[in-house]
Chains A and B, each alone.
Chain A
Amino acid sequence: MQALLSFENAPPFAAPLRFFLTAPLFATLAGLLVAWEGPGLFTSRWMPGALAATHLITVGFMLQVMLGALIQILPVVAGVNLQRPLLVAQIVHAGLTAGALLLAIGFLVGAPWLLSSAALVLGVAVATFLACTARALHGIPSTSPTIRGLKLALVGLTSVVGLGVLMALALARGWALPLAALVDLHAGWGLGGWAGVLLAAMAYVVVPMFQLTPGYPTRPSWSFPVTMLGLLLLWSVAVLADQGWLVRLSQGLAAIVGIAFCGLTLRLQSKRRRARADATYRYWQLGLTASIVALLMLLVASIWPAASEIDGWTLGFGILIATGGFLPLITGMLYKIVAFLSWLHLQNFGQAKIPAPAMNKILPDIDTQRQMLVYSLALALLLAAVVFPDWLARPAGIAFAIANAWLWWNVASATRRYRQSQAEMAQKLAERLALAAMPK
């Protein structure tokens, strides 16, 4: 019976796995870049090194994992399959990998042609993904907050990449655009409209499923994605109309909506029925708490704009929301997805005759918990480096690189154990077949 759990026409494991194995390498590169550049990188968020490191993390890590996971998880959360998922995964993965590298190098060396090339490559990769996903989702009714959230997150992805491509071309060709306002809007769409809405839509499914919490109440689940997108549209209109007060109002309201979602998730986690706190749970606690602090900073700055002039405020906010909030949330989910998908594919491979090894055997909790401790230390060092860059910038970069290299090692080890188990199961199946074929 369990063999029936297989998702017909579901993407092969190789489709998402390439994203999951590449993403930690980009975060490692970001750490090495911080270590290489040292204190200078912490001078301002406009430093070439800071822009490069930011995009190694957001495009190289976050976007990689999110698109890879979506390719595999669409049949589970929305009941739809992408057509030719392996081909889509190959194109999107190649584009994201090349695009993130071109973008980071383009920022670092200040080469306009590299920024234009990055814009083109990333634009094509994301457009390919959007076209295939939109085609799969076409005509699918929004029967759950997850499906609606997923559709709205795609609007967020279109906006953040559209703005990114526009700014990369503007920088490369010297177009006169209000870049400071557009950069904030680009970050707002990326973190709020795309990553935030997508994580929430996935959280509605995976938090109760893997952490055994109560479900998300229906009304806030329906309203969170649409409210967040509405506020980002308001922010966009305010930028177009050059209305600073409206920009701050929409930022402040978006911060409140984000805090409400994080607070609700923490409350649900406090009622979980799983006694053991695994790495995913701990990563989510860290990510949600850091997000709340970061969003409180955003709220304060929207009410009292002078706050953002305080030394290190904006940089500290960026580090807290990206590496303190989103990265832990994504890494926590990545661990669970890799272990679950490995188990699921092995379970189906065993054809209900040979049982698959337990998820904890494929990705032992002790390995993920240790990696999380190192990551937490790296985060603390990064935040402290905002205040003491001369002392801590390089150690923070090295610690961040080590933590993410360890993440890569854990994912790669799970992949190795998956392949090893598959080979052992194939042998056992062949032995059974040979036994059954023997004359009685």
Chain B
Amino acid sequence: MTHAKTPHVVDARYMEPPGPFVETMEMLDKLQVGEKMLLLLFREPHPLYKVLRQNGHSYETELLPDGTFEILITR
């Protein structure tokens, strides 16, 4: 799956925990520094935010009308 914001997308909206976390970390591992990835979820992943901050990644979150949180993460 690709998206206008980035070709690197993890659509975790129908995934059970810890799937979203694991897949996000795996995709981040594959990206070059400065590249972006998009995580789609029906909730705000606060534990993931904490890990992203600890690892020095930045992120921006947007809430869409259908309840999807789009989290754009920069490695």
A residues engaging B (CB < 8 A)?
1-2, 4-5, 7-8, 75-79, 143-144, 146, 204-205, 208-210, 212, 214-219, 221, 273, 340, 347
Contacts and interface: CB of A to CB of B under 8 A. Distances in A.
A214 to B, nearest CB: 7
A218 B67 CA distance: 5
A76 B65 contact: no
SS class of chain A's interface: helix, strand, loop or mixed? helix
B43 A208 contact: yes
Nearest to B64: A218
Contact of A146 (B22, B25, B43): B43
Given A5-B47, A77-B46, A144-B44, A212 B63 contact: no
Given A144-B63, A216-B67, A218-B63, A208 B22 contact: no
Interface bin, chain B: 20 to 34
Contacts of A219: 65
Interface of B: 13-14, 16-18, 21-22, 25-26, 42-44, 46-47, 49-51, 61, 63-69
B46 A215 contact: no
Given A2-B22, A212-B14, A7 B47 contact: yes
Nearest to B51: A4
5 contacts: A4-B51, A76-B46, A143-B63, A146-B44, A212-B16
Given A1-B22, A79-B50, A214 B64 contact: no
B13 A76 contact: no
Contacts of B69: 144
Given A214-B66, A218-B65, A208 B13 contact: yes
Given A1-B25, A2-B18, A4-B51, A217 B43 contact: no
A217 B65 contact: yes
Given A5-B21, A208-B13, A212-B16, A75 B47 contact: yes
Contact of B67 (A1, A210, A215): A215
A215 B42 contact: yes
Given A79-B49, A209-B16, A219-B65, 7 more contacts: A5-B47, A77-B44, A79-B46, A143-B63, A215-B13, A215-B68, A217-B65
B66 A209 contact: no
A341 to B, nearest CB: 11
A210 B14 CA distance: 9
Contacts of B67: 204, 208, 214-218, 221
A268 to B, nearest CB: 9
A265 to B, nearest CB: 12
Contacts of B51: 4
Given A8-B50, A144-B69, A273-B14, A208 B42 contact: yes
Nearest to B42: A215
